[in-house]
Structure 1
Amino acid sequence: MIKKISVVLVLLTGMLLSASVFAQKTIVEKYGKLSVKGNYMVGQYGDTVQLRGMSLFWSQWMGQYYNSDVVKWLRDDWKCTVVRAAMGVEMDGYLENPDTEKMKVMEVVNAAIAKGIYVIIDYHSHEAQKNPAAAQRFFSEMAKKYGNIPNIIYEVYNEPLQATSWNKDIKPYAEGVITKIRVYDTTNIIVVGTRQWSQLVTEAAANPITRQNIMYTLHFYPGTHKQELRNEAQKALDMGIALFVTEYGTCDASGNGNFSPEETALWYEFLDAHKISYCNWSIADKPETASAIVPAASPYGGWADYDLTPSGKLVRDDLRLKNGPIFDSLVKTSTGGVSKKKSKTK
């Protein structure tokens, strides 16, 4: 009799676990805690995961968009599965105003957690290795606060300059920050920048960081970076590392001029073929090609078509096309993570 009861309990437990997996109300409930396996990001339930979303602009210059309304709009209307909080470090950023810039990041992180999507905590610097103690202090605090939450991805160095060395500068800096993060967060993914504005990914692949759940940053602007950079990325993948495009544009590397939808499409094809996650640069109303929204666009989302730049329209269409079916697969409830609010634009 006891044996029969045990069998029934095991069956009921399995059914309940299966039901919890399939009754997913948010993106994070769908994929759970992320990890790295070979070239791929994988979910808690065995999925190969490709996140697509938007990056915010330097926090010290576009802080008006660092709010929960924007995060909600990016989830509900743009269908973002990830957002990136690009905390400016130098140039009146975190180093000069640590509490102000940190609070902006935390508002975005808290909103992403509440909305059930992933969020990248980005240390947006070109020279982070010059002050490793500041980065270690920041990421220790973030990991202590959010380390038990599966929504979190850490990006410890946005774009190291061409003059830096992977072996002497970037890797030792990253290892120091990773050590501090892992005191409080032993599993969430950490993304590490690579030399020459996060392009020379084969250098990292030749001497990778020997820790678990590490990915490497690849950035591209298709008006400048074409097949030669895709070849670099392919070589790095063949060498066994995992890449995350935490930032890309639709124009040239300056962020302004040479809008390149055709070359962007070639990049999308490459990224999708390899299940590489990507975030577009950026949610900003700066009058330049890379901005997704026009000058004076609302700081609270709710953007209509006329509020979007050509780049914003291109990126939004891609996100809605590819991520829309993922959101459609989630359970819709009046109190769950998927909003029933209709989008203003079609």
Structure 2
Amino acid sequence: MQIQFRAAASTSDTAARTAVAAGGRLKVCGNRLCDASGQPVQLRGMSTHGTQWYAQCVTNGSLDALAEDWGADVLRVSTYVQEGGYETNPAHFTNLASRIIDQATARGMYVIVDWHMLTPGDPHVNLERAKKFFTDIAKRHGHQPNLLYEIANEPSGVSWNAIKSYAEKLIPVIRANDPETTILVGTRAWSSFGVSEGSDEREVVNNPVRATNIMYTFHFYAASHRDAYLRTLDRASDRLPVFVTEFGTQNHAGEGANDFTMSQRYLDLMSRKKISWVNWNFSDDHRSGAVFKQGTCSGDRWKGTGVLKEAGIWIRARMG
């Protein structure tokens, strides 16, 4: 049996039907993400935008809408390292991530703790910061059954060997405080398994990270990333446990026209192979990839389609 979680309302009479209540602590079994009983599962959800810019979009009301109205079962909490993020005030951004984890947990959702290193693309630059951040988060939340740790958002300009080395230095630090939570490892070339820099998944297949209970991440933007990327995801997921922790229906910058036809091809593949996915992004940014219309996050209306852009309407319909 293969399970598709569906999050439910956070009230006590429906708590038993939430994703976490149904699935418990997740783990990797073979090439798939599985629930506590070993059954393959597929999570579907949203990623926050950078919390240094759009924390106001992550409220009790918006998360009620995501869990209840949309039917999402996972929230990715994106803590940028640079660009005015974690490095400017580690305590503040750790507390902010922790607060959002608590809010999502109260609604029975899984949470991806995203270390959103982007520029520079070498994750080693932020290794000591990452050790501190994940140690703090693991000490606070590692006992919970609903976390996943994404340790390097989109490495770029570095070899797979360098990314693997980073993971093998960071993972034992996390495991010292949390031996059980699934860890998600970014792949080369903006988490494309190297495709965006002329390689493919074989470099990971032939040289995997020396650790257990891990998955590898893949990101795509359907208007830019066409058949070569789709084929890579298909092949990689035959050989490796893969989690699509970020995708958009637009171009690689998360803007421009939506390509829903190509996006649906990806979703059909991920549904067939039970590959979990998270859409970018849960904010009212001006770009087409932000699901809310501009100005929504300064108000108190979250449910229904009236507050959503075209991409938001489309992804909401495919969530629950």
TM-score by length of 1: 0.82
Q: Which residue of 1 aligns with 2:159?
A: 165
Are residue 276 (structure 1) and residue 275 (structure 2) matched?
Answer: yes
Which range moves more in the overlay, 80-89 or 224-233?
224-233
Q: Secondary structure at the match of 1:131?
A: helix
The 2-side partners of 1:236 and 1:129 are apart by 25
1:1-346 alignment to 2 at 5 Å? 24-126=16-118, 127=121, 128-161=123-156, 163-167=157-161, 169-200=162-193, 202=201, 203-238=203-238, 240-299=239-298, 302-320=302-320
Aligned to 1:336: none
In structure 2, the CA distance between the partners of 1:301 and 1:110, relative to structure 1 (3 Å rule), is farther
- Give the conservation status (yes or no) of the 8 Å contact 2:285–2:294: yes
1:301 Cα deviation after fit: 5.5
Calculate the TM-score normalised by the size of structure 2. 0.89
Distance 1:64 1:117, change over 3 A: same
In the other structure, the counterpart of 1:14 is none
Distance 1:302 1:276, change over 3 A: same
> Hey, what's the Cα distance between the residues in 2 that align with 1:141 and 1:245?
25
Q: d(CA) in 2 for partners of 1:88 and 1:95? A: 9
How many angstroms does 1:211 deviate by?
A: 1.4
Secondary structure of 1:95 counterpart: helix
Letter in 1 for 2:160: W
- Percent of aligned pairs with the same amino acid: 34
Kept after mapping to 2: 8 A contact 1:223/1:251: yes
Which residue in 2 is equivalent to 1:332?
none
In structure 2, the partner of 1:343 is: none
Contact in 1 for aligned 2:245/2:277 (Cα 8 Å): yes
Mapped partners of 2:301, 2:216: distance in 1: 30
CA contact (8 A) 2:234 2:269 kept: no
> For 1:153, what is the secondary structure of its paired residue?
strand
**Contact 1:73 1:301 (C-alpha < 8 Å) held by counterparts:** no
Separation in 2 of the partners of 1:278 and 1:188?
18
Alpha-carbon separation, structure 1, partners of 2:302 and 2:234: 38
Per-residue deviation, residues 83-138 of structure 1 (Å, max 9, x unmatched): 00001110110011212222221111001211111000000112332121000110
The superposition leaves residues 287-316 of structure 1 with CA deviations (integer Å, 9 ceiling, x where unpaired) of 111110111003556244221000000000
Secondary structure, aligned partner of 1:144: helix
- 1:71–1:108: 8 Å Cα contact kept in structure 2? no
Contact 1:157/1:192 (CA < 8 Å) preserved in 2?
A: yes
User: What SS does the corresponding residue of 2:179 show, helix, strand or coil?
Assistant: coil
Separation in 2, partners of 1:146, 1:114 = 13
Match for 1:166: what amino acid? W
| Alignment: residue pair count | 295
Structure 2: distance between partners of 1:286 and 1:302: 15
Residues 92 and 313 of structure 1: CA distance in aligned 2, closer, same or farther (over 3 Å): same
- Decide whether the 8 Å contact of 1:257 with 1:288 is kept in 2: yes
2:125 maps to amino acid: K
Instruction: Report SS of the residue matched to 1:184.
Output: coil
Paired letter, 1:157: A
CA contact (8 A) 1:297 1:303 kept: no
Q: Hey, what's the Cα distance between the residues in 1 that align with 2:73 and 2:311?
A: 19
SS of residue matched to 2:53? coil
RMSD, aligned CA: 1.5
